[in-house]
Structure 1
Amino acid sequence: MKGDVGASPGRDSSPLPDCPSCGDPVSFVTVTGPHTGSASPCGCSVPPGLLERD
């Protein structure tokens, strides 16, 4: 198989932040209200701004 697709989700070399609920890498957060949002692709509920980077 070509590459390591799906190997070691959440590994240290991932450029994506980890979901605070499940630990999976988060590609983006969809904001649904002032204090609610949904992490993708895992679908966990997270508050907006929690995964912001400096």
Structure 2
Amino acid sequence: MSSDADPDADSDDQLSLLPTCPTCGDPVSFLTVTGPHTGIVNPCGCSMPPGLLERDD
């Protein structure tokens, strides 16, 4: 590894693959579903319906 390499570059690349919270824009690690139409985004803690994080491939 060269001394010019940024050690945070790999973690930044991984974060860019995560979906973002539609409320605050932070990366979403996972969604805790608390009911049929409610959930809590982690790690930010915003509340949102689970269907908003579904991706169209």
Q: Per the shorter chain, which TM-score range? A: 0.7 to 0.9
Higher Cα Rg, which structure: 2
- Superposition CA RMSD, Å: 2.6
Q: Runs of at least 4 residues of structure 1 off by over 4 A?
A: none
1:5-47, Cα deviation, whole Å (9 max, x unpaired)? 8xx7xx8x70001100000000110000011000000000010
Structure 1 residue runs of 5 or longer lacking an equivalent are none
Percent identity of the aligned residues?
Answer: 71
Which of the residues 18, 26, 44 maps onto 1:42?
44
Amino acid paired to 1:3: P
Structure 2 residues not aligned, in runs of 5+ = 1-5
Instruction: Please report the TM-score for the alignment, with normalisation by the length of structure 1.
Output: 0.74
What is the total number of aligned residue pairs between the two structures?
Answer: 49
The structure with the largest helix share of the pair is 2
So what's the TM-score if we normalise by structure 2? Answer: 0.71
